[in-house]
Structure 1
Amino acid sequence: MSEGFKASDVLYAVIVPCIVAFLIIAFPHYLAPALDPTLRAIIVFGLGEAILIVAVPMLFGLLWNQWAGGASGFLLGSVYALYVNDSFAAAQAWTPDGMIGDISNLGYVVCAMLTGYIAGALNKGSFSFKRMVGAALTGGIIGGLFLLYTQLISPFGMVTDVYYNLFVTLLPRIVYGIVIPIIAKVFSWYGLILRRM
């Protein structure tokens, strides 16, 4: 272990994370008002959903195992369900109780759990890129279908156009089903995994 700091230490430990943090904050703040409401929903607000209930559980499932994927999906799906509930309650879009008792809240949790668990269970710790892509796509699509189903049966009528909602629900899961295995493969090249190789 080195005692002194190098320029690369400061660059990768302070400067790059600060730039990423600034972009995370600036992206929705400056981009959202400039976009059409539909694009805003997909690009700005959908990014949080995709990261919380698709990308992170899928990555944990691929890199570690199905239990890590399912557990992270449960935790992050619960956080996202609370966020959605509070957002609609604050906007007074529904009742003063928000979405209490709405089945779609459970859909966010189940979707995230299934995505992470299925990705990990089908991958079985493999670092084969084809297997990771197949596992990630399967987990993402099945999780997305369960989410769409809970939104279809929701008493709040969250889905009015089934084909449009199917497209909006599955597209990010398919994209992340290809991108996350690439990230997992890069992690494995550098030994940034949570288990022995």
Structure 2
Amino acid sequence: MTDGEKWGLGDILYGVIAPCIVAALIIIFPAYLKSIIADPTLQAIFVDGLGEAILIIAVPMLFGLLWNRWAGGAAGFLLGSIYALYINDMYVQYSTMYPEYQPNDISTLGYVVCAMLTGYLAGALNKGSFSFKRMIVAGLASGIIGGFFLLWTQIISPLGMVTDIAYALFITLLPRIIYGIIIPVISKVFIWYNVLPRRPT
């Protein structure tokens, strides 16, 4: 066996154990935090919004920053579509009790557009740079712009999803600002350890 084919402790640790811990945290975090956090705003951000944040903000932004705009946009399209399907399924369930919830609501398209824009803009603004300042600016700008498009679709939704625009703006943009700072930090860690989808130039 060549060195690349040999199994080591690192393969088990980083290939099995670490991903399983992350997967468990993704499930445990929203399942148990709901009973701990009483404030509905914090619940919306940290409990209900965790899956949304990972799928339509964090991963597309990470791909955009570390790779390029096309990878970020493609990741956003795919993950935004998955999240939109999840939301669509929730609307189908709600429509049995509340007829105004229609599965083909415009807000589901907002999740796809938001994720695509976030990933694409992160890559387009960063331009493959490893500069932390540029990553922060690209992360914040892409997250905020994507958030505005999501909010727009929620405002024009016939479901009347947004009744308080200031609150909706806060709840939509705050996670994107937070991730606009966190994801560049994570990207920088990836760069330090040379875990990149492309070679540094």
Normalised to the residue count of structure 1, the TM-score between the two structures is 0.90
Match in the other structure for 1:187: 190
Following the alignment from structure 1 to structure 2, what is the Cα–Cα distance between the partners of residues 15 and 59? Answer: 22
Contact 1:127 1:188 in 2 (8 A): yes
**Structure 1 residue 195: Cα displacement:** 1.2
Q: Which residue is equivalent to 1:22? A: 24
- Aligned AA (1:159): V
Aligned to 2:38: 36
Tell me the residue number matched to 2:72: 69
2:116 matches 1:113: yes
Say which is worse superposed, 147-156 or 187-196, in terms of deviation: 187-196
- Is the Cα–Cα contact under 8 Å of residues 65 and 122 in structure 2 kept in the other structure? yes
Structure 2 residue 99 is matched with structure 1 residue 95: yes
* Alpha-carbon distance in 1 for matches of 2:4, 2:103: 53
Code of the residue aligned with 2:22 in structure 1: it is V
Native 8 Å contact 1:77 1:113 kept in 2: yes
| 8 A Cα contact 1:86 1:98, kept in partner | no
Structure 1, gaps ≥5 residues long: none
State the alpha-carbon separation in 1 of the partners of residues 134 and 79 from structure 2.
25
Deviation at 1:30, TM superposition (A): 2.2
SS of equivalent to 1:126: coil
Deviates more, 1:41-50 or 1:18-27: 18-27
User: Is residue 132 from structure 1 mapped to residue 174 from structure 2 by the alignment?
Assistant: no
8 Å CA contact 1:88, 1:94 repeated in 2: no
Q: Give the drift of 1:14.
A: 3.7
User: CA separation in 2, counterparts of 1:186 and 1:31?
Assistant: 27
Q: Which moved more, 1:86-95 or 1:3-12?
A: 3-12
CA distance in 2, matches of 1:131, 1:191: 18
The alignment-based identity, stated in percent, is: 66
Segments of structure 2 that go 5 or more residues without pairing to the other structure are none
Distance in 2 between the 1:59 and 1:3 partners? 29
Cα distance change on mapping 1:64 and 1:37 into 2, 3 Å: same
Normalising to structure 2: TM-score of the pair?
Answer: 0.88
Distance 2:79 2:119 in 1: 11
